[in-house]
Amino acid sequence: MPDLTAETAAVEDRLATVRQEIVRACRDAGREPGSVTLVAVSKTFGVEAIEPVIAAGQRVFGENRVQEAKAKWPALRVRYPDIELHLIGPLQSNKAREAVALFDAIHSLDRPSLAETLTKEIARQGRSPLLFVEINTGGEPQKSGVLPERADDFLKDCKEKYGLRIAGLMCLPPADEPPAPHFALTAKIAQRNEMNLLSMGMSADFAAAIALGSTHVRIGTAIFGERP
């Protein structure tokens, strides 16, 4: 038997540290701490690692893959009905049905075909996950996301052509560059398109993201430790 009590205490410490740093970053930026949602990224971690984080009071979680989330979360959600689950990784159109059924938010809308499929599934299931459009701020070919110069047109199409309500924007800055300019660019695109939510910032850079307006920080390593 793993020592759940010791594990929970360690997780409580890490979670408390992250929460304190969020509060401090908000204070430094003159923002309300309640304006930032902590999304605990549990990808690659099993139920045994997730439960102590739930026990420590965390309720909003992020996963990268639909299949993995489907294997882990439905049973946990029966026991903890107030869990909120966010999809933060790329979404294939053929998984859109399952994604709409399972997730409360999708951070990775990035192309017309997916917008079209999501529109149909949202209508069919009568479920409306919070939607973020992902911006590929670094223009990295291997990454998903809409290029910054195409963002305005894509957002307009989401609204006018597909009737989708987009809540905000998400970005994942290039690993080898300072993230702040990427956060600033994402915030600027959101502002001119009248969007309130920004999914930006991970373990290494969430304070900078909060300074630039992030409302959803996606934090894995600082809570769960290094991924296996």
CB of 150 to ligand PLP, least distance (A): 20
| Identity of the residue numbered 106 | I
Binding mask 19-58 for ligand PLP (x = CB under 6 A): ----------------------x-x---------------
> Site size for ligand PLP, by CB under 6 A?
14
Per-residue CA distances from 86 to 40, 66, 185 (Å) = 9, 10, 23
Does 218 interact with ligand PLP (rule: CB under 6 A)? yes
CA 9 vs CA 16, 49, 52, 56, 178: distances in Å: 10, 12, 8, 8, 33
Interface with ligand PLP, residue 138, by CB under 6 A = no
Contact 26, 12 (CB under 8 A): no
User: If binding is defined by CB under 6 A, does position 91 make contact with ligand PLP?
Assistant: no
Q: Which two tokens stand for residue 43?
A: 């990808």
Which residue has the CB atom at the shortest distance from ligand PLP?
220
Q: Is 208 in the site for ligand PLP (CB under 6 A)?
A: no
Q: What is the DSSP letter of 33?
A: G
Q: Using the rule CB under 6 A, which residue among 36, 202, 209, 212 binds ligand PLP?
A: 202
Question: Residue 164 and residue 154: Cα distance in Å, rounded?
Answer: 11
For the bound state, the minimum distance from the C-beta of residue 124 to ligand PLP, rounded and expressed in Å, comes to 27
Note whether 172 binds ligand PLP by CB under 6 A.
yes
How far is the C-alpha of 147 from the C-alpha of 143, rounded, in Å? 10
Q: Which residue ranges make up the site for ligand PLP (CB under 6 A)?
A: 41, 43, 64, 88-89, 172, 202-204, 218-222
